[in-house]
Structure 1
């Protein structure tokens, strides 16, 4: 990925009960990012549980499970991506208490929906990078200081090492420039 030209490695889920609307947003994103559409709140939760989703474009007003309900359930499940409400529901004061990351009022044109994907990709990349740096610094210093048998057999060390690996993979996928990762790798965290 170079610059703002593409967010191809970003996994985006468009959720809207109006199939034509969801498909229109997906069409605007086709070739720009990896996009999937679903047409209900229940299907959205299923999609997020089944595949890694970086950004959810979520309609608020849907029959059955509303977008507000989906948002609450995503938070309860520990969803670690970004949520953008894309809706015709005029926002009221209640949005102050809602844990979404951006709010777009319909209709949204092609440039704006792509811009919000790129913006949220960048934010998620840096959040992921921060979590990776924290986990990897702990893993690296313990690996340098302890004998290999001690850290290989310790459950928490193994969990942190696996978490660091997952976070690094996601950060590299989301970043357009991995120079910051190279700089992090150059820091000597060896014996003190």
Structure 2
């Protein structure tokens, strides 16, 4: 790796775990910073930080709020939400880059950091193109062409994990390709269901240039 090593900010209120993650990340060749609470994490954020490993359930300032601040202030870094629980419905609305569930092993963490730190943005930046470039996102979009499905139902149909489904729903939502609705089941519980939003997918290739793609054609393998 060159001298211009990426800097990874690790945010977790479990100090031993944060320190262990920092050790693993440094072994992978990256610089690290650690923060054990949200306030310290926000203070540690600057233009040198390339990747943030962010625990969602922090005391005082929650991980979701820190993520909002990062996006609101246009901090140029990738964010992986790290949590000990399966994702809830609201995770679809968050602007994270990756979502992982603890416990993380060293090889998995190293692979995650490498992917986030060394991902070079495409010359053409379009959320629709990004979403359709992911085979799993295309599969989810294909299954949502008919009836609306919950994340649980979509996971069952595709065979993907719930975490994988929520990550793809997030990218499809950011691309404006799906819509959600709240449904009440027979027991009176509320849950979110999703379906494809448009008949034609519009992709911006460059200023003034667009292509329109039929969604069923776009998601075929």
- Using the size of structure 2 for normalisation, the TM-score is 0.52
C-alpha deviation, 1:8, in angstroms:
7.5
Q: 1:116 to 1:42 in 2, by over 3 A?
A: same
**In 2, Cα distance between equivalents of 1:130 and 1:114:** 28
**Match of residue 76, structure 2, among 77, 80, 100:** 80
Please show how residues 16-27 of structure 1 align to structure 2 within 5 Å: 16-27=12-23
**In 1, Cα distance between equivalents of 2:5 and 2:124:** 19
More strand as a share of residues: 2
C-alpha deviation, 1:109, in angstroms:
0.4
**In 1, Cα distance between equivalents of 2:13 and 2:118:** 28
The aligned length equals 124
Stretches of structure 1 that go unaligned for 5 or more consecutive residues are 132-192
The structure showing larger relative contact order (alpha-carbon pairs under 8 Å, at least 6 residues apart) is: 1
**Match of residue 41, structure 1, among 20, 38, 43:** 38
**In 2, Cα distance between equivalents of 1:115 and 1:38:** 21
Deviation digits for residues 51-101 of structure 1, max 9, x if unmatched? 510000000001100101100111111111100011113201211110000
Pair 1:57 & 2:53 matched: yes
Q: 1:65 to 1:98 in 2, by over 3 A?
A: same
Runs of 4+ in 1 over 4 A off after TM superposition: none
Stretches of structure 2 that go unaligned for 5 or more consecutive residues are 126-221
Cα RMSD for the two superposed structures: 2.1
Q: Is the 8 A contact 1:84 1:100 kept in 2?
A: yes
**In 1, Cα distance between equivalents of 2:25 and 2:118:** 17
More helix as a share of residues: 1
**In 1, Cα distance between equivalents of 2:19 and 2:26:** 10
